[in-house]
């Protein structure tokens, strides 16, 4: 029977007339009052606290040592028991008891399960625990009880704990504050990458794949030697996971995605081969996908599918696996069955083909983060640098303390008579210590022992007396009488000299990061030599260097710049912040004095860049293959990226997002006045050696390529100063190998020097025409339309003579270039002798068509103008994506028409 609560409260608290406060029970009692709390908020706060506790203290590994708290505490408990790799095995019950009693006060069964998991070689690529007894099997058989099994640390675990006592990591109170436990292990062994980890927290899960130790060591070495190494190069070293159970990974796209973003999925198949015994065909399974159970997973599923009539050709299944022979599961087939067909059915219907999700989540500075392959390697290296520096500082401090103590002993031996006198005159030990501390010691250069004293110490005491510290005085007090002989000075000097060398070496390690890197590389080489073994998992679909670059490259908007000299680069569009009118912008590139940015456009990294050359060929580059460079870098020469022939040059760059839009066409214009309109889709397949974009006739060359729609107009300008503007669809659609049709009827010795795309609804721009003698003019584009008597305008018909654009007199010379411009544009004028002059388009007077123009550049005697380019400033690029037609943004598309 329950006891009645006591009622003998203090008199002041007994108030029978007081009514309970309203809402009692709705909140905590604070200062005698009830506080109302919203249950939703209280539940949310409490659940968040629980979730973070689960994430940080149970489910997720630390990125530095790759261990969850329970696993780390088991290894620390084994280290306390001195269960090193060479020691005798101890009962697992003892290990579990010490772990739960000292560090991890949770159920012993959960701790034992974690201990067993670290010993099972089908779960861990390099087990941390060396087992003895029944630790279960992949069948799966359960392990024996902890009172029957024994264990000790495996060699990788010893490497994880190496230097633990040398102040290499931080320590914290254990659960009851009686002992100290490390917050992380020194972790020389790259456990997170090699053994991976699995864990389910609240609201998140982690699934880090195991890898081959030799490959991981090589990758770490590569990152140390080349901090700028890119992911494709790392994947040449680590092609993918290496599961303890082997198997075959199908494809590399999931691997690449995981290594780049921290998340990916891979398909893993069993290893199966065919055997024939008598007249019966058999399929023999020798390796299973990672985390797939043999009996509960595979055998039971095959039996179920056979009974359901979906695996009718399977006659029997026999498990011939053994500890000595390894995995061998024999699937016997019925007579007449096709082994290849049954194998494919097994992959489709059973766990013999499974998917492994790679979710690279680990704790970084106590917070869960999704990590790429490079980030995991960097975190490992950062931790090892800190461990080595802390170990070095600890050893340096100890060496300095010991050197300090020996210095005092050297002082004493060099003045032993005075030391003995001071001690004999003292009545107590403390008095002797105080007298020694008050006495100044000196070793002059004339001292008999001076030649034996290290120069470093002699310089300190040769002129000034040195006062002993308490540490030195107490060390002298502990000297035995036999140590006062003259030969003792040689031993002390040798010890001191050795210590000085160690101190200088340790100080050099702390001062020189390269020394730390060298130590890491030496340790990594040692790990590889001791523990590495051959890869078990095969990766199919190409060799290690056949990587899916698209899968490695994130989809993002970038700004591509191309200079007049042919240097190309890309930058993330975030480098250019959108600015208001009048902004000063940012430096887009630092070009040579004779170079300038001529093409700028915004594109996706997964877009294609078509490069059309004057010989009629086209090359295709993926934008992500264009090197990413800083805003002040020139980039890379385009001739190093595409295979141009002698005298061949690129006349048009065109970014493409989608080749499959049926309404999109490209219009080509040649120097001999031919034009050709071809569907964009005809240029979707371009190999690395280029493709014939149009069939040029002898003596002809490509002048320009424009992206046109049905309503666009095309304007051709010739060297003799003629121009024709006609509708783009007047040039009928042709195949890729066609030569084209007549765009303009040229006079003898005349040629086309420029092609402009004109949108009929936008005639606000001007046409700039410049001649070889430095004269030019700008004329509104609308003047190149034919004006009817009723005031309406229309383009000319294709193939005509055109209309006079500029007078090509002896003063002007022939036309060399045409550009569509506005008054705000800046222009670069280039001459034969290499002179480059930058002018504003507004300084060129606007005149009517057929005028003679004005001087735009003063040329030296014998010099000629050969070209004009509109300067493309990157300063105010925004991050607007591609337009609907798959090219650059509207502004960028317009700019390519020049």
DSSP letter string over 247-283?
-EEE-SHHHHHHHHHSEEEEEEE-EEEEEEETTEEEE
Torsion of CA 828, 833, 834, 840, to 10 degrees: -20
Shared domain check, 408 and 297? no
Looking at the structure, do residues 303 and 190 belong to the same domain, yes or no? no
Query: 886: phi > 0 → left, psi -120 to 50 → alpha, else beta; which?
Result: left
Q: What CATH number does the domain containing 88 carry? A: 3.90.199.10
Angle between helices 373-414 and 513-531 (to 10 degrees): 110
pLDDT of residue 70: 92
Q: Could you tell me which of 278, 426, 414, 286 has the C-alpha nearest to residue 352?
A: 286
> What's the domain range around 309?
268-359
What's the longest Cα–Cα distance across the chain? Answer: 132
Residue 352 sits in a domain whose CATH number is 3.30.1360.40
- Residues 591, 480 share a domain: no
Q: For residues 70 and 113, what is the distance between their CA atoms, to the nearest angstrom?
A: 10
CA distance 404 to 468: 10
> Which stretch of DSSP H or E encloses residue 403?
helix 373-414
Is the distance from CB of 229 to CB of 100 less than 8 angstroms? no
Tell me which residue of 163, 181, 151, 149 sits closest to 84, measured CA to CA. 151
In a domain, 230, yes or no: no
20 falls within a domain: no
The CATH number of residue 886's host domain is 2.120.10.90
CATH of the domain at 441: 1.10.268.10
Tell me whether residue 419 is in a domain.
yes
Q: What are phi and psi of 599, to 5 degrees?
A: -130, 130
Same domain for 647 and 590, yes or no, is yes
Instruction: List pLDDT tens digits, range 698-738.
Output: 999 999 999 888 788 999 999 999 999 999 999 988 988 88
Phi, psi angle pair for 200, to nearest 5°: -120, 115
d(CA 283, CA 347): 12
Both tokens assigned to 815: 């036309």
Closest by Cα among 728, 741, 751, 708 to 897: 708
Q: Point out the domain boundary residue: 133, 168, 195.
A: 195
Q: What are the residue ranges in the chain where pLDDT is below 70?
A: 1-32, 47, 50-57, 445-446, 459, 461-464, 481-487, 542-554, 574-594, 661-663, 760-763, 872-898
In-domain check, residue 36: no
Give φ, ψ of 571 to 5 degrees: -140, 150
Same domain, 674 and 809: yes
Residues 276 and 151 placed together within one structural domain of the fold: no
Ramachandran angles phi, psi of 710, nearest 5°: -65, -30
Number of domains in the chain: 4
Per the domain annotation, does 299 fall within a domain? yes
Query: Do 350 and 404 lie in a common domain?
Result: no
How far, in Å, CA of 818 to CA of 796, rounded?
Answer: 19
Whether residues 348 and 449 fall in one domain:
no
Distance between CA atoms of residues 600 and 589, nearest Å:
12
Q: In what order do the strands lie in the sheet with 650-656?
A: 650-656, 608-613, 617-622, 691-692
- If asked whether residues 162 and 272 sit together in one domain, one would say no
Q: Name residues whose C-beta falls within 8 Å of residue 96's C-beta, 6 or more positions apart in sequence.
A: 108, 111, 112, 115, 146
Please identify, among 195, 212, 235, the residue that sits at the C-terminal boundary of a domain: 195
Q: Has residue 826 been placed in a domain?
A: yes
d(CA 364, CA 192): 12
Q: Which residues are catalytic?
A: 148
pTM of the model: 0.63
Cα separation, 390 vs 450, whole angstroms: 36
Is residue 40 situated within a structural domain?
Answer: no
Report the 3 state secondary structure along 167-220.
CCCCEEECCCCCCEEECCCCCCCCHHHHHCEEEECCCCEEEECCCCHHHHHHHH
Same-domain status, 346 and 395: no
Distance of CA 128 to the CA centre of its chain: 29
Residue 728, domain member (yes or no): yes
* pLDDT at residue number 526: 96
Q: Which helix (H) or strand (E) holds 95?
A: helix 92-102
Supply angle C-alpha 203, 207, 208, rounded to 5. Answer: 135
Beta bridge partners of 62: 363
Domain shared by 175 and 310, yes or no: no
> Are residues 488 and 449 in contact, defined by beta-carbon separation less than 8 angstroms?
no
3-state SS class at 607: coil
Query: Which helix H or strand E contains 503, and what residues bound it?
Result: helix 488-511
Instruction: Identify the sign of the CA torsion 14, 20, 21, 27.
Output: positive
Question: What's the gap between Cα 154 and its chain centre?
Answer: 32
Query: Can you give the C-alpha Rg of the chain in angstroms?
Result: 41
Same domain, 852 and 710: yes
First-residue to last-residue Cα distance in the chain: 99
Structure tokens at 144: 């024996």
What are residue 366's phi and psi, to 5 degrees?
85, 0
Element (DSSP H or E) covering residue 561: strand 557-563
Instruction: Compute the distance between CA of residue 258 and CA of residue 235 in angstroms, rounded to an integer.
Output: 11
CA pair distance 655, 601, nearest whole angstrom: 8
Task: Point out the domain boundary residue: 340, 359, 378.
Answer: 359
């Amino acid at each position: 029977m329950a006891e009645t609560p006591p009622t003998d409260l203090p008199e002041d608290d007994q108030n029978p007339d007081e009514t309970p406060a309203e809402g009692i029970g709705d909140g905590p009692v604070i200062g005698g009052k009830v506080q109302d709390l919203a249950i939703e908020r209280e539940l949310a706060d409490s659940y968040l606290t629980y979730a973070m506790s689960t994430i940080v203290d149970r489910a997720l590994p630390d990125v530095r040592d790759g261990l969850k708290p329970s696993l780390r505490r088991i290894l620390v408990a084994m280290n306390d028991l001195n269960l090193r790799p060479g020691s005798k095995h101890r009962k697992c019950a003892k290990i579990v008891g010490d772990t739960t009693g000292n560090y991890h006060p949770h159920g012993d069964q959960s701790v034992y399960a974690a201990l067993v998991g670290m010993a099972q070689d089908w779960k861990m690529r390099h087990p941390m625990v060396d087992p003895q007894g029944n630790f279960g099997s992949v069948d799966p058989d359960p392990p024996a009880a902890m009172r029957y099994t024994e264990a000790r640390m495996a060699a990788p675990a010893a490497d994880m704990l190496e230097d633990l006592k040398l102040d290499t990591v931080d320590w914290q109170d254990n659960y009851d504050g009686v002992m100290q436990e490390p917050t992380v292990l020194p972790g020389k062994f790259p456990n997170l990458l090699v053994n991976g980890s699995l864990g389910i927290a609240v609201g998140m899960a982690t699934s880090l794949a195991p890898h081959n130790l030799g490959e991981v060591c090589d990758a770490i070495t590569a990152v140390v030697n080349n901090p700028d190494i890119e992911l494709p190069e790392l994947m040449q070293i680590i092609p993918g996971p290496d599961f303890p159970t082997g198997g075959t990974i199908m494809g590399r796209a999931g691997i690449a995605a995981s290594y780049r973003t921290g998340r990916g999925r891979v398909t893993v198949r069993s290893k199966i081969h065919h055997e024939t015994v008598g007249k019966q065909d058999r399929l023999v399974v020798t390796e299973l996908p990672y985390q797939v159970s043999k009996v509960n997973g595979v055998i039971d599923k095959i039996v179920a599918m056979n009974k359901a009539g979906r695996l009718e050709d399977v006659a029997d299944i026999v498990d011939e696996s053994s500890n000595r022979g390894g995995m061998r599961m024999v699937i016997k087939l019925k007579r007449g069955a096709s082994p290849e067909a049954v194998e494919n059915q097994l992959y489709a219907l059973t766990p013999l083909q499974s998917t492994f999700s790679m979710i690279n989540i680990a704790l970084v500075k106590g917070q869960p983060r999704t990590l790429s392959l490079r980030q995991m390697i960097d975190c490992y290296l950062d931790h090892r640098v800190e461990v080595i520096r802390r170990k070095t500082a600890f050893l340096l401090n100890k060496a300095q303390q010991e050197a300090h103590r020996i210095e005092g002993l050297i002082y004493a031996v060099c003045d032993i008579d005075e030391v003995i006198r001071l001690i004999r005159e003292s009545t107590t030990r403390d008095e002797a210590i105080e007298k020694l501390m008050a006495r100044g010691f000196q070793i002059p250069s004339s001292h008999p022992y001076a030649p034996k004293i290290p120069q470093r110490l002699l310089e300190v005491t040769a002129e000034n007396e040195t006062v002993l510290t308490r540490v030195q005085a107490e060390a002298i007090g502990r000297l035995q009488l036999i140590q006062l002989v003259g030969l003792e000075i040689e031993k002390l000097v040798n010890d001191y000299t050795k210590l000085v060398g160690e101190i200088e070496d340790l100080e050099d390690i702390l001062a020189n990061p390269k020394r730390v890197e060298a130590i890491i590389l030496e340790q990594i080489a040692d790990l590889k030599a001791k523990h590495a073994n051959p890869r078990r998992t095969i990766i199919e679909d190409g060799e290690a260097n056949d990587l899916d670059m698209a899968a490695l490259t994130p989809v993002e908007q970038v700004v591509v710049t191309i200079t007049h000299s042919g240097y190309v680069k890309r930058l993330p569009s975030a480098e250019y912040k959108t600015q208001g009118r009048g902004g000063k912008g940012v430096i887009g590139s630092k070009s040579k004095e004779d170079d300038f940015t001529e093409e700028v456009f915004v594109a996706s990294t997964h877009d294609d860049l078509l490069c059309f050359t004057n010989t009629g060929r086209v090359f295709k580059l993926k934008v992500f293959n264009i090197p990413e460079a800083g805003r002040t870098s020139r980039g890379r020469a385009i001739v190093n990226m595409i295979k141009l022939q002698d005298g061949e040059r690129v006349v048009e760059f065109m970014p493409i997002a989608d080749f499959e839009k049926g309404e999109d066409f490209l219009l080509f214009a040649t120097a001999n006045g031919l034009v050709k309109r071809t569907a964009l889709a005809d240029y979707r397949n371009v190999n690395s050696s280029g493709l014939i974009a149009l069939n040029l006739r002898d003596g002809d060359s490509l002048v320009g390529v424009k992206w046109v729609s049905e309503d666009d107009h095309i304007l051709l300008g010739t060297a003799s100063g003629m121009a024709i503007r006609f509708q783009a669809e007047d040039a009928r659609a042709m195949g890729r190998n066609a030569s084209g049709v007549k765009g303009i009827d040229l006079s003898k010795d005349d040629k086309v020097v420029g092609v402009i795309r004109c949108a009929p609804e936008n005639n606000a721009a001007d046409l700039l025409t410049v001649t070889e003698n430095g004269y030019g003019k700008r004329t509104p584009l609308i003047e190149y339309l034919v004006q009817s008597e009723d005031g309406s305008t229309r383009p000319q018909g294709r193939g005509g003579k055109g209309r006079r654009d500029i007078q090509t007199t002896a003063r002007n010379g022939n036309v060399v270039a045409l550009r569509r411009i506005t008054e705000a544009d800046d222009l670069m004028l280039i001459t034969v002798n290499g002179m480059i002059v930058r002018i504003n388009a507004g300084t060129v007077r606007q005149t009517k068509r057929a005028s003679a123009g004005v001087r735009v550049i003063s040329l030296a005697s014998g010099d000629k103008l050969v070209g004009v380019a509109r300067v493309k400033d990157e300063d105010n690029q925004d991050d607007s994506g591609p337009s609907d037609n798959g090219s650059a943004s509207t502004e960028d598309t317009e700019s390519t028409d020049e």
